[in-house]
Amino acid sequence: MTEYKKNLFRGLAAGSTLLAAMPAWGQYSPTPPFTGKIGKTVAETQTAYPQRNPKAQKGAPNVIWVLLDDMGFGACSTFGGLIETPTFDRLAQEGLRFNNFHTTSISAPTRAAMLTGRNHHSTHVGRFNNDKFGAPGYDTYVPMENGTMAEILRENGYATFCVGKYNITPYYDASNAGPFNRWPTGRGFDHYYGYNPATAAQDQWHPFMYRDTHREPDDSLGRVVMSRLADEAINYIADQKSAAPKQPFFLYLAPGTSHAPHHASKRWIDKYKGKFDMGWDEYARRVLDNEIRMGVVPKGTKLPVRNEGVQRWQDATPDEQRFYAHQMEVYAAFVSECDYEIGRIVDFVEQIGQLDNTLIVIALGDNGAAGTGGITGVKGTRTPEQMRAAVADGLKNYDRLGDETTWPFYPAGWAEACSTPFRYYKAWADYEGGTHNGLVFFYPKAVREKGAVRTQYTHVIDILPTTVELTRSTVPEHINGYRQNPIEGISFAYAVESPNDNVADRKTLQYYELDGSYALYKDGWKVQFPNGNLNHRVLQDTVPHLYNLREDFNEMNDLAQKYPEKVKELLDLWDKEAWKYNVYPLKKGKYHKLKRTHYEILLGTRSYGEYPYCDGTYGKPFTMTVHIEDTPAHPQGILISQHTFALYLQDGVPVFATKKGKKVVGSKAIPRGRCTVTAAITYPGDEARATLYINDEAVGQGKIENKFAIKDFEVAIQVGRQWGVPVNDDYQSPYLFTGRISKAVIDIKK
């Protein structure tokens, strides 16, 4: 063992958990004392050139982290699934598969934990980053004292890039006003290209993209966003290696794949035609056989009982089966297209001669598969009539599913199958189906048993310390002047470097919690408490469960009644961990408070504008008033819109329309010159109505869908244009307004 590793493990044993004894001053960089001698002339002066920027160790590897979204353990071919992912397969064959890797069960917490190497409540992201709650575990502000992997590696001389979905900038810091210190470029990344950094999900055809802290235009080539992400990643690497060929880089690539909407190019969808006609029950059986054959699940593993609310495939009608199978074809295409684009990045790194000195981590999911699609995969379909209508509409638009006009998802049956062999899904922190993901680890200089499986228990917080160890980096005592908190993860470099799998786990303890449901892993045992009195899911379970995961890989044999003393021991230990890591108070769901009830969106000198982070209206009555400064003859165009509605002019006549086909048309055109156009949304009785005004005169009224509202932060409000797909056939996007707008005002009644 090298002296470096001896010191590293000494620090771990002492509880210092990777805080370096010698500080490295990279970003926090006070002017060093001058060590030369100043003379009156150049000849008399002894110059000195202190090291101003950190320099990477000789031979330090490049680092690429890839974090996929909403993917179950049994989805991709790398771990036995039926979705083809040849890039991941290749890296696994030349590296390692970790089959006992875990996440937090939900997006933002996993990302915060991965980037900092601390538990999600320790990073103050106990739930979503749009769910600010006044307690340390939930205030959504990742402490500066919890340095990110980017901050650490930049202190060690790395160039750093973030591409894709960041999702841990606090909701209220993600507007045009910032502050920007918790955007990616404020947390250690030299460059960022991706969604608004607070955003959890985006349209894959027309996402709202940012470069560093500035909005990017839509893609003129009409590509799915994954192609753009791959291009940017390649170009960042190319630019950096051109300027500083000996400097290593850190690329954190977090695609939106495979979070809904499941958008994909037609050529990838066509590739899967007919491949899932067997249905989700047979899919699960085939995948389990593959998993056992590949050694990623133990021999003798059986399929679990069916999840609550999941229909048997044989009970679906032929029309339903056709629609459901096609939804899975689109999902598979979404994943395979992503794998292909990541393959382009890997190929480029290989072409420039860097692959053999690159450490690549592929986390196949930030949580388990998303199981919120219900029976049909179409949200909001609960009654038999709604389900039949959803299937009929899906078959009507069969050939368009996956394109820019659709918002594809899939039924819970496919989520269950893609989670094989585990039960339940994303957001179920107590079940393995919510937290158990595949992990691929590639690093030719460290992996000694290529293509093998590693069974050591690992967690997302362990990736950072593993990377630190294998890159021979150090974690500074201070970053940007902030004294760093201890890293809570444990390096699994020992398992990476081992010649075989016969090494004992070094991680023996890990807690889990989300929405009040919780679990604890300790030395192979797992206690699980669904807490059904607080977390009202489909499964109203209120008793603890106990599993011996070393003998029961997928939680089939509940031992709680047999070993009540073990249950008590582990629940008591969970309580200690909860107090230690800011888990309390237990809470369910989002405690939303409508912060703003008045918005003025100013256009300045521009012909159009947008506001990215509206709170939404949440069923409250509201008005949208557009102030027009100059009206030409026969004015046309969008006044204000979101992807679900538009207020626009046709030959000067105001029209309010929704994407679900509702429309209210004004009785006359607006006057020349200055005026206002208003759409007032009210909820009399059990319905919703839109009333149109020109100045203060009502010119039209009509019924719209009952639950109509302005959506919250995921979708920007547009003024003077439509972003993406139009809401109806009256116009084509962007349908720029032909006059001049000074501002749009939104007022929400409390």
CA distance 453 to 70: 23
State phi, psi for 465 to the nearest 5 degrees: -65, -30
Closest CA to 556 of 422, 713, 460: 422
Separation between Cα atoms, residue 149 and residue 187, nearest integer Å:
9
Longest Cα–Cα distance of the chain, Å, equals 93
Residue of 68, 15, 20 lying closest to 440 (CA atoms): 68
663 burial via Cβ count (<10 Å: 0-12, 13-18, 19+): middle
DSSP state, residue 729: T
With respect to CATH, is domain 598-748 assigned 2.60.120.200? yes
Q: Which two tokens stand for residue 472?
A: 């021979």
**Long-range pairs for 681-689: beta carbons < 8 A, 24 or more residues apart:** 681/617, 681/621, 681/622, 681/623, 681/624, 681/708, 681/709, 682/621, 683/619, 683/621
* CA dist 155 → 152, 210, 471, 628 (Å): 5, 25, 13, 51
- Choose among 514, 593, 428: nearest CA to 127: 514
Question: What are the angstrom distances between the C-alpha of 239 and each of 191, 219, 234, 235, 249?
Answer: 12, 21, 9, 6, 11
Helix axes 107-116, 463-470, angle to 10 degrees: 30
One-letter amino acid for residue 26 of the chain: G
User: By C-alpha distance, which of 455, 449, 466, 442 is closest to 500?
Assistant: 449
What one-character DSSP code corresponds to residue 293? Answer: H
pLDDT band, residue 52 (cuts 50/70/90): confident
Side chain identity, residue 440: V
pTM: predicted TM-score of the whole model, two decimal places = 0.94
Alpha-carbon dihedral of residues 400, 404, 406, 409, nearest 10 degrees?
Answer: 100
**How does pLDDT run across 216-270, given as a tens digit for each residue?**
988 888 899 999 999 999 999 999 999 999 999 999 999 999 999 999 999 999 9
Structure tokens at 674: 């200055």
- The architecture (CATH level 2) of 509-580 comes to 2-Layer Sandwich (3.30)
DSSP string, 565-623: HHHHHHHHHHHHHHHHTT-PSP--S-------SEEEEE-TT-S-EEES-----TT--EE
Which pLDDT band, with edges at 50, 70 and 90, does 5 fall under?
Answer: very low
CA distance 65 to 150: 11
Query: Domain spans of the chain?
Result: 62-497, 509-580, 598-748
Confidence check: pLDDT of 591 > 70: no
Contacts of 49 (CB under 8 A, 6+ apart): none
**DSSP for 213-232, written as a single string:** TEEPPPPTT---HHHHHHHH
Q: For residue 4, what pLDDT is reported?
A: 43
- Which residues contact residue 711 at a Cβ distance below 8 angstroms, ignoring those fewer than 6 apart? 614, 616, 642, 643, 644
Q: Indicate if the pLDDT at residue 31 is higher than 90.
A: no
Indicate whether 3 pLDDT > 70.
no
Confidence at residue 350, expressed as pLDDT on a 0 to 100 scale: 98
The pLDDT value given to residue 10? 34
Average pLDDT, the chain: 93
9: pLDDT strictly greater than 50: no
Quote the pLDDT of residue 460: 98
State pLDDT tens for residues 307-323: 999 999 999 999 999 99
What value does the mean pLDDT take over residues 353-368? 98
Calculated CA dihedral for residues 208, 211, 213, 217, nearest 10 degrees: -40
Class of domain 62-497: alpha beta
